Amino acid sequence: MKLKLKLTSIVLGAVMATGPALADLVLPMLSYRTGAYAVNGIPFADGYNDYLTLMNERDGGIGGVKIDIRECETGYNTEKGVECYESLKGTGALIFSPLSTGITYQLIPKATVDGTNIHSMGYGRTSAKNGKVFRNVFNYPANYWDGASIAVKHIMDQEGGDLKGKKITLLYHNSGYGKEPIRTLQELAKKHGFEYKGIAVDHPGQEQKSQWLQIRQQRPDYVLMWGWGVMNQVAIQEAANVRFPMDKFIGIWWSASENDTVPAGAGAHGYKGLALHGSGMGYPMYADMQKYVVDAGKAAGAGDQVGTVLYSRGMYNAFLAVEAIKTAQKLAGVGDVNAAQVRDGMEALNITEETMAAAGLPGFAPPFSVSCENHGGPGLGMVSQWDADAQKWSLITGLIASDMDVIQPLIDADSAAFAAEAGITPGCG
């Protein structure tokens, strides 16, 4: 009997120790610090964690309530990502950031049933922009179809507004992520009269000789890339090898970080990539980050990724989560908000220039607001270019808006298909 009591108290103690403190705001982070894609997963996870740590250390959490960061390793593996979700959904998790389109696709039906929130920032299922169907899924501030459209608009700008007869090739990761922009590019090709061709690269993308020989033989005018991990580095190196003009090679925002360009050395000079936000250390927030997080020895990683593109993206993702929780706290009138209240906060999110400046990030990203009809934000992006001599990315355009005339019908069709499949009656409120 005594042994039974002891065992029960040990089990209860363990459960209480692993569960969240009652007044904590639980923010899960589905990260990958191991495996083939760790190179890109680490800086993102560091940025996400460090910003939340800054909130805890400097501001005592959000609205006086501490944040409980729950990092779970997925290895960029969809099955592991789902396991992470299942193990964390009962902890009072407020917003899941899967950092994988494959994982996001698997979690969307679950989140809809469980009432948990997913924020797939700049990735995931594009039609989740339609909040009337995807009530718990948000993909602000931009999605892949925006990215495809922004890239094509930039190319049009380079070509004097006319793409008739031009050839644009998409080099894509042979996964849900890589295939996401195909439909949009096909529609854009019809509208603007360019010839579209897709070339797939299998995971992980270490060997791309066939693909680049095809590109060399077909001589496209531009190559767009939807790559991740080693695929990016190898593609940029192969492009340099076959002497493809680097200023006509444009990567989505997940193919445009320092990790992608540095290994190719001088050959990567001039390579372009889309950008959702700024990067570098030129923002006042970083002084606090240095003081409260890095110097205090509380950085998630070694502190050597601070200010890089992917670190900045992780930090921006965390910033948007924090602002959504603040909005939820205002709406609910309590600090200890739950997932349903945070969903309302995400839907009422309004990021202004003042919000960014107050967070020490003036001009870091465009202002935007979210609504029930639009969970995807404004769909704005910029184009950046790699300078191999200075070893840095520089923004070379202002904000470019996506072509909603093409994208909106695709979103409506895809979200209607999901609604029919899942038995959802679209609507707000």
Partner 1 sequence: MPDQVLFAAEVMLNGLMAGVLYSLVALGFVLIFKASGIFNYAQGVMALFAALTLVGIMDGQVPFSHLINAIFGTNIHHFGWHTPALLAIILTVMVMVLFAWLVQKFIFRHLVNQEPIILFMATIGLAYFLEGVGDLMWGSDIKKLDVGIPKGINETIDSLTYNAFGYGFFIDNLDIFATFVAVILVAILVCFSQYTKQGRALRAVADDHQAALSVGISLSYIWILVWSIAGFVALVAGTIWGAKSGVQFSLSLIALKALPVLMLGGFTSIPGAIIGGLIIGVGEKLFEFLVGPWIGGATENWFAYVLALLFLVFRPQGLFGEKIIERV
Q: How far is the CB of 245 from partner 1 (least distance, A)?
A: 14
Q: Which is nearer to partner 1, 9 or 210 (CB)?
A: 210
Angstrom distance (rounded) from CA 356 to CA 175: 34
Q: How many CA atoms does the CB half-sphere of 55 hold within 13 Å?
A: 27
Q: Which is nearer to partner 1, 103 or 199 (CB)?
A: 199
Q: How far is the CB of 240 from partner 1 (least distance, A)?
A: 7
Q: Which is nearer to partner 1, 120 or 169 (CB)?
A: 169
Q: How far is the CB of 68 from partner 1 (least distance, A)?
A: 22
Q: How many CA atoms does the CB half-sphere of 142 hold within 13 Å?
A: 31
Angstrom distance (rounded) from CA 217 to CA 414: 35
Q: How far is the CB of 93 from partner 1 (least distance, A)?
A: 26
Angstrom distance (rounded) from CA 394 to CA 381: 14
Reduced to 3 states, what is the DSSP secondary structure of residue 336? Answer: coil
Query: Given CA atoms 71, 307, 233, 104 in this order, what sign does their dihedral have?
Result: positive
Q: Which is nearer to partner 1, 177 or 418 (CB)?
A: 177
By CB under 8 A, name the binding residues for partner 1: 33-39, 42, 174, 198-204, 206-207, 209-211, 213-214, 216-217, 229-230, 233-234, 237, 240-243, 259, 262-263, 265, 267, 297, 302, 304-305
Angstrom distance (rounded) from CA 225 to CA 177: 11
Q: Which is nearer to partner 1, 207 or 354 (CB)?
A: 207
> Rg of the chain's alpha carbons, rounded to an integer?
22
Q: Where are the alpha helices (DSSP H) in 130-180?
A: 144-158, 176-179
Q: Which is nearer to partner 1, 53 or 112 (CB)?
A: 53
Q: How far is the CB of 41 from partner 1 (least distance, A)?
A: 9
Contact predicate 170/199, CB 8 Å: yes
Q: How far is the CB of 395 from partner 1 (least distance, A)?
A: 23
